[in-house]
Homo-oligomer: A and B are copies of this chain.
Amino acid sequence: MTLRGRHIVLVEDDEIMGGSVHQRLELEGASVTWVKLMGRGLSAIRTPRRPVDAVVCDIRLPDGTGEELYETLCRTSSPPPFLFITGQGGIDQAVRLLRAGAADYVTKPFDMGGFLDRLALILRPEEDAGLPPQTGISAGARRVDALVAEYAAGDHPVLIRGAKGLGKARLARRMHDQSDRRAAPFVERNSYRATGARPALAEAIGAVGEGTLFINGIERLSPRDQGRLFEALTEGAPFRTIASTWPDTEATEGGAVRADLLYLFAAHEVFVPPLSERPEDAVWLAGQFFEVLNGRRAAPLRGLSSHAEAALRAHDWPGNGRELRARLLRAVEAAQGDRVFPSDLFPEIGAESDRFPTLAQAREAAERQQIAAALSRTDGQVGEAAKLLRVSRTTLWEKMQKLGL
């Protein structure tokens, strides 16, 4: 697979490094947006000229870190895959990023060929062709798959609940593929994507015909859009509706779904348990990923060591499947022996975990908390919150962007 025709956002302040990567990516046929500041990166990714396929991002930036950029995006949207460029000593940071669901990282200095290979790897779509249409092997995963099969035969709305990285979009797609509507369009409306990147609901409804409309993140729909959806569903719309929600505390508090709309979905829900509750699925999924990835190695590995499997079971998987896939990618690439070992999967073991927050971090945390409290108090009214906080509307808006609120 080539990079030709892809849109890459490059966030790198170093003139030489950035120039090299920029030039080489364009030689490969990619379209590159090069920015030098975290703030600029935020804008470029949130409101891009065209959809962003991947982000290549340095860790250290003049106005913050790549980590902050990524996590800020995660709070209000679903960012495109990130490939981080880290220097020596930044490994603990990069590993945290993997845990949070970032795609991968490379360590300076690196050869351009290896870098391009890694970038090409993460550009591949989330639903790998090599994986079977199955959530897992645990009892909980089998219940999910049974419900998916059952609901695929129906026409009623379905709500998929579960944390990020659990493949809710893939479940919706499978439900569509196993239904009578499989020949009609499958249209996704991702509410987590930045404003510029997502179509209006009306546009999505216009495109779906008698197919399946998938609303990713129903709690993020505006009240007006929720009204439109409710109308469509109660007036016999020809398409089938599947929605997902991410039971994140902030989302629940901030973006309530009107009760009557929720009522339409209440009878048919699919809850996807987190990987931490089904460790045998983590091992199974890792095995699936291993088969696919190992097949690409010039010198194939023999498998996962038993200790690696034990470590997979013991991990708490805050990033769920996305984190698992990223770790497998790195492990298969980095393995020195003939098998994958725990230290290949979890290189951060031994890294310092106890860090004293800096003054800037403490200040930011307090600002984030206070702004959130003010927004809560004003029911999301930004202008009123600005008055309460005694800052200008501009200042509040910029801080909200910076802090990911």
A interface list, Cβ under 8 A from B: 356-360, 362-363, 365-367, 369-371, 374, 377, 388-391, 399
Contact = CB atoms under 8 A, between A and B. Distances in A.
Given A356-B389, A359-B374, 17 more contacts: A356-B377, A356-B388, A358-B389, A358-B390, A358-B391, A359-B367, A359-B370, A359-B389, A359-B390, A362-B366, A362-B369, A362-B370, A363-B363, A363-B366, A363-B367, A365-B366, A366-B367
A357 B390 CA distance: 9
Nearest to A358: B390
Contact of A360 (B356, B357, B388, B390): B390
A21 B390 CA distance: 31
Contacts of A360: 390
Contact of A359 (B357, B358, B365, B391): B391
Contacts of A391: 358-359
A105 B367 CA distance: 33
A23 to B, nearest CB: 35
A374 B357 CA distance: 9
Given A362-B369, A363-B363, A374 B389 contact: no
B358 A362 contact: no
Contacts of A356: 374, 377, 388-389
A362 B367 contact: yes
A366 to B, nearest CB: 3
Contacts of A357: 370
13 contacts: A356-B388, A356-B389, A357-B370, A358-B390, A358-B391, A359-B370, A359-B374, A359-B389, A359-B391, A362-B370, A363-B367, A363-B370, A365-B366
Contacts of A365: 366
A347 B188 CA distance: 63
A395 to B, nearest CB: 8
Nearest to A357: B370
